[in-house]
Each structure stands twice: as structure tokens, then as C-alpha cells.
Amino acid sequence: MDIKELEPGFSICHAIYPQDLEEVKARGFQSIICNRMPGEAEDHADTQGLRLAAEELGLEWVEVPVVPGEYTPEAVETFGRAIERLPKPILGFCRTGRRAVSLWIHAQLQQKSCDLGELLQAAHAAGHDLTEQKDAFLSK
């Protein structure tokens, strides 16, 4: 698994599967936020099995499904509240990690006085160059 920390207590990764959850737990994560849409791919028909497997390991599970590039105010708010309330460290994931990092940036800008440049640098260090979305982050 290619897990990248964006800030202390919050990391992202690409798609995870039931067989990955033991490693997620072993790495010390206490919570997972899934940003995949139900049925978005053959390997991700629904999250019920993944959620149940995570919960059996004692991991908190939250779903904030979003379509790539479509970050509604409701989704951003729900994601931000999840980061605030869930036990840390938290692992956010989608197919590639891009939705998770985009939601994180939106939530950081909405909830805190953050520097967009620093957030974009953290995203880039995690393998996601989102500089082309700078205007979209500022318009929310």
C-alpha cells in the first residue's frame, strides 16, 4: 500500500480492499474515510463488505462518496466533520487518492485559516499535482 501523510493524523491512499485492512490496522490507523462512489468500478461494487471487515478490526468507517471533480459544499462539510470527530490517525481513500486529497484541501480551507500554497505542496508531496485546480479551491 502506498500511504501518504498529508498532515499529522491524516493520510491518503489509493483504493483499498478487504485484504489490505490488516495492514491498515497494523500501521496504526484508527479510522477510514471512503470517497468512492458505490458501483463506480467492477472492483468496487459496494462498500458493505469493506466496511464490515474494517469494523471487525475495530476501525471506524465513514463514507463520503463523491464523483471525481465534483466536491459539493455538503460533501466538503461532511468530510471536514469526519476529520474533526474520528479517532486519529485517519486514512482517506478513493480509487487513486485524488478525491481524498481534494476533499482534504477544500475542508482545510473551509474550516481553518490555511495557506493554499502549503496545502497544494502537501498534495504534490503525496503524488497529486492539483495546481491546475487552484481557482476551484479558491472559489468555494
Is the entire prediction scored with pTM above 0.95? Answer: no
* Residue 90 and residue 24 in contact, taking contact as beta carbons nearer than 8 Å: no
Nine-digit cell at 8? 499529522
For the residues of 72-123, what is the DSSP string, one character each? Answer: -HHHHHHHHHHHHHSPSSEEEE-SSSHHHHHHHHHHHHHHS---HHHHHHHH
pLDDT at 129: 81
For residue 120, CA distances in Å to 6, 25, 29, 133 come to 10, 28, 24, 10
When comparing pLDDT for 72 and 135, which is higher? 72
Which residue segments constitute the domains of the chain, with CATH numbers given? 4-138 (3.90.190.10)
| pLDDT (mean) for 68-72 | 90
Task: Say what the pLDDT of residue 41 is.
Answer: 67
